[in-house]
Structure 1
Amino acid sequence: MILHTAIGDAYGLGWEFADGPSAQHAANDLSAFRVNPRYPEYPAGRYTDDTLRTLANSAVVLGSPSGWYDPAAYAAAYQRIHALDGRKGWSRGFQAHLDAHRESSPLQFMLALRRRATNGAVMGVAPLGFLPNEDIVRMAATAQCVSTHSGAAASSAQTVALAAHYLIYDKGPIDQLADYLEQEVDWASEDECNRTLCKRWSPVPVPAMPAWTIAAGAVFIVASTTFTGMADRLQFAIKRGGDTDSLGAVTMALCSCAKAIPDDLPSSLTDHIEDEDGRAMLRSVDLQLRAFAGL
């Protein structure tokens, strides 16, 4: 999961909110990572906040069970990973907050945030799917969400975490994922459920800042039977435009959990995400999560 999250994140970054000829005509053929024309200073093949948050959330999963339900444990994990890896891959506002609160307590860190129901609430939430059961996953996803974001995004965080849980523990066929989520997520309303699961004529949204658009897009792409493997799913995520790195990261995280989805990503991506040490670290966390789940 962690390696594939990083690949989807770094590949999607090349098109994130980019427009103009250089973005429109860039070949989305998985032949290489590319530099986003909006962020020419950011190297191709480097992951961003989606993967950083995934790694931080993984550390909480692998830590004390009391931390699974504690928003402060997630906030502390974000502070720790920023101290260990100071790359400028976070959103500008959150980057500034991390820099300003290096020495703050987790409580101070959380109290100083202005919470919104934006995409950060679902960034990196997939590792919570390794937790033992749906009740725990729901509670952990909500705690993770409110550590930095509005509780209004809790259903989106639960959607991604429970989708991962369903796929990791092979709870049913992939084409029944939406039915499972309809029953298991704490929806605020029927309309919220319909739009997130693209039911009852709700269109698949372009991935944008609202958290639900990332959850909706990832679940649709993963569960759709019109795709063959990971490769065409990643390409479709990029074609959607908008917040392509978050959609790419969450989509690849969920795909990696699905036995029915073959990993047909080319070596041009799998062999060039980060450097050799970076890839080894990502794979190591993957192994730890699988051992935690007894897989």
Structure 2
Amino acid sequence: MIIEAGIADAYGAGFEFEKETIIKAQNNLTEYKVHPRYKSIYKTYTDDTQMAIAISEYILEEKKWSKLEIANKFVEVFKRDPRKGYSSRFYDILSTIKNGEELLKTLTLASNRNGAAMRSYPIGVYKNELEILEKSKLQASITHNTKEGILSSQVIALTAHYFLYNKGPKSELTQYLRNVLNFPFDFKKASTVKMEAIPTVNTVISLVLEHNSLAQCLKEAVYLGGDTDTVASLAVSLLSINYDSQKDLPNWMYDKLEDDTFGKSYLIELDKKLISLML
């Protein structure tokens, strides 16, 4: 789940908001691409996966959930391994503050972007739907305390839960989400996905429904353009835990992904620990 997200994140980051002609010419799943404007992000995951790591670690620590403690975890995970991919403003905030208390005091919360959704899929390991709704809402409210931000976080967490616990066929996923959340999602793809929360999750769920192959899902997520790393990491992560998906990402994607302290091996170990909570 997280290793697949990291791979798709690293691959998608090379195409983020690139020209359609470049994407069509180079999106062939043969190598990680150096982005001309973000050359430091090469063969590495971005803020999308790092924030999911923070949520995963917090789950594994089994602390009582609170805004302050989650905010502390966000700061901790960034400080030990600063990396690009965050918005310039959020990156500057994380670089200058010392702890979660300062983060909560500094942030402007009225954002309808997709930052809360990109990190919420690990919450799907919990067994109880009400707990998932509460926790995905709480973590979203730290940075994206809007209806769109919260709903997008809940959609992704519930989708992960649906697949992890094999609650039904993939064809019934959308009805499940509409029933639980009581919101009229259209789950249609956007041609160029920007950073808005609801269009992002609509596109992600559409990709998950249309594909069984992780490789083909990743290619189409990037072909759509725009915020390619977020859409790719979410769609591939969720599809990877669907029981009938084809785990066919090319081997080179695993082999060439970064593997330092918090790289490939760390992501694989996090996955194992999260799944163990379900047993």
Q: TM-score, normalised by structure 2?
A: 0.94
Q: Is the 8 A contact 2:49 2:119 kept in 1?
A: yes
Residue 279 of structure 1 is matched in structure 2 by 264
How far did 1:108 drift? Answer: 3.0
The one-letter code matched in structure 2 to 1:256 is: S
How far did 1:231 drift? Answer: 0.5
Residue 3 of structure 1 is matched in structure 2 by 3
Which of the numbers 262, 268, 272 marks the counterpart of 2:246? 262
**Secondary structure, counterpart of 1:261 in structure 2:** coil
| 1:214-293 matched pairs, under 5 angstroms | 214-224=200-210, 227-275=211-259, 278-293=263-278
Residue 139 of structure 2 is matched in structure 1 by 144
User: 1:40-77 CA deviation, whole Å, 9 max, x = no partner?
Assistant: x224211100010010010121122522xx22222111
Q: Is the 8 A contact 2:114 2:152 kept in 1?
A: no
Aligned partners of 2:57, 2:23: CA distance in 1, in Å? 38
Q: Is the 8 A contact 2:160 2:241 kept in 1?
A: yes
Moved segments of 4+, more than 6 Å: none
Aligned partners of 1:169, 1:185: CA distance in 2, in Å? 18
Residue 180 of structure 1 is matched in structure 2 by 176
How far did 1:194 drift? Answer: 3.0
Query: Across the two proteins, how many residue pairs are aligned to each other?
Result: 276
**Secondary structure, counterpart of 2:69 in structure 1:** helix
Residue 111 of structure 1 is matched in structure 2 by 105
How far did 1:126 drift? Answer: 0.5
Q: Is the 8 A contact 1:75 1:148 kept in 2?
A: no
Aligned partners of 2:59, 2:23: CA distance in 1, in Å? 39
Q: Is the 8 A contact 1:61 1:131 kept in 2?
A: no
| 1:92-171 matched pairs, under 5 angstroms | 92-101=88-97, 103-104=98-99, 106-115=100-109, 116-152=111-147, 153-171=149-167
Question: What percentage of aligned pairs have identical amino acids?
Answer: 30
Q: Is the 8 A contact 1:4 1:253 kept in 2?
A: yes
Q: Is the 8 A contact 2:212 2:244 kept in 1?
A: no
How far did 1:207 drift? Answer: 1.8
Please report the RMSD computed on the Cα atoms of aligned residues, expressed in angstroms: 1.7
Q: TM-score, normalised by structure 1?
A: 0.89
Residue 213 of structure 1 is matched in structure 2 by 199
How far did 1:30 drift? Answer: 0.8
**Secondary structure, counterpart of 1:158 in structure 2:** helix
Instruction: Give structure 1 stretches of 5+ with no counterpart.
Output: 188-192
